[in-house]
Structure 1
Amino acid sequence: MPLAPLAPLASELLRSSSIPVDLTPSTPRPLYLVVTGPLRPGDQLDITADARVTNDCGRDGGIRYTVGVGWHLWAYTYVGPGISTGPWWRISHSGGDNVSPDRHHLPLHISRLHTIPEDWPPGDRMVVVLQADAHSTAWAKNGGNDLLTCDAGYGQMIVRPLVATPTA
């Protein structure tokens, strides 16, 4: 079946103000999310997301160090506002880069064309989430409580649904 574009869905509501820095990428935080309308197997989502983080680790008298940042797109089935019962699954590659004290700000960008899988229950809605994590081998130098700041006003997520349309 041919796919027809629907109106884009977008969010500029930043979901986390900070990301904890730790040793491994085990504490991701949601940055932006969008809830789709009803989907069917074979539909596609054209997803673009941007965000920005700031490395102020050690800035107020501590030890400054470089932090690795990873970001990726995740999804789960929508069951109601504010509810994420799982499971979550990753729908994109990981973006990654280092933000040194000199670099200070790190823009995050990711885009993905995601095809709704064959086992998707027709009519269910999906929540698409941009998540990011922060990690460094120096994470404990200031007591292990350092955070990267998620910068409000520097990002958004746009989801452009492409849905199946019956042929005439």
Structure 2
Amino acid sequence: MTLIPRQPLANENLMNASIPVDLSSNTPRPLYRLITGPLSPGDQLDITADARVSNACGYPSGTRYTVGVGWHLWRYTYAGAGASAVPWTRIGHYSGTNVTPETHHLDLHIARLYTVPADWTPGDRMAIVLQADAHSTAWKANGGGDKLSVDEGYGQLVVRPWTCTPEPTPVEA
């Protein structure tokens, strides 16, 4: 098989400007999403995503505390319908770290090379989503309701598709 590069896709339109801080790490918010063109099993997607969050929890007169941030890539089959109507699949592993009040800003970066699975329906389009969650054992310190800001202009989602094409069959002379 030969891989042929296609036009890169990019999206800088932020979907959520904040992420609620809670106790669970299972409450992510989508930050960036893009829709690919038609794909086939074996195609490869070179995915890169960046975002930046700011921890101002408790500022200026409340309790300041550290917040754990997890970020990850997901995909689902895009058919123009609502994203909740189809199953989502995580691409790669979770990434995460803490953002302290002193650090204040945290850059989120993730990159993956993803192979379109063998059971993919040829010609279907894929939605790729960068999601992030915010969690802390101190989340109720200010009565609940604290949020991390997602900083506009500091992120994007880029997908560089590579089409999988079969090698030409040799012609006998």
TM-score, reference length from structure 1: 0.97
Gaps of 5+ in 2: 169-173
C-alpha distance in structure 2 between counterparts of 1:128 and 1:92, whole Å: 12
Structure 1 position 49 matched with structure 2 position 49: yes
Where does residue 58 of structure 1 map in the other structure?
58
Greater Rg by CA:
2
Q: Measure how far apart 1:53 and its partner are.
A: 0.1
1:72 aligns with 2:72: yes
Aligned pairs, number: 167
| 1:135 corresponds to | 135
**Match in the other structure for 1:16:** 16
List aligned pairs for 1:136-155, cutoff 5 A.
136-155=136-155
**Distance between the aligned counterparts of 1:69 and 1:39, measured in 2?**
32
Using the alignment, how far apart are the partners of 1:163 and 1:83 within structure 2?
A: 27
Q: Distance in 2 between matches of 1:126 and 1:167?
A: 25
> How far apart are residue 39 of structure 1 and its match?
0.5
Structure 1, unaligned runs of 5 or more: none
Q: In structure 1, how many angstroms separate the alpha carbons of the residues matched to 2:29 and 2:36? A: 20
Q: Give the aligned partner of residue 3 of structure 2.
A: 3
Mapped to 1, the partners of 2:86 and 2:147 lie a distance apart of: 26
CA distance in 1, matches of 2:50, 2:95: 11
Identity of aligned residues (%): 65
Is 1:30 paired with 2:56? no
SS in 1 for 2:51: strand
The structure 1 segments of at least 4 consecutive aligned residues displaced by more than 4 Å after TM superposition are none
What letter matches 1:151 in structure 2? D
**Which residue does the alignment assign to 2:171?**
none
Task: Provide the TM-score with structure 2 as the length reference.
Answer: 0.94
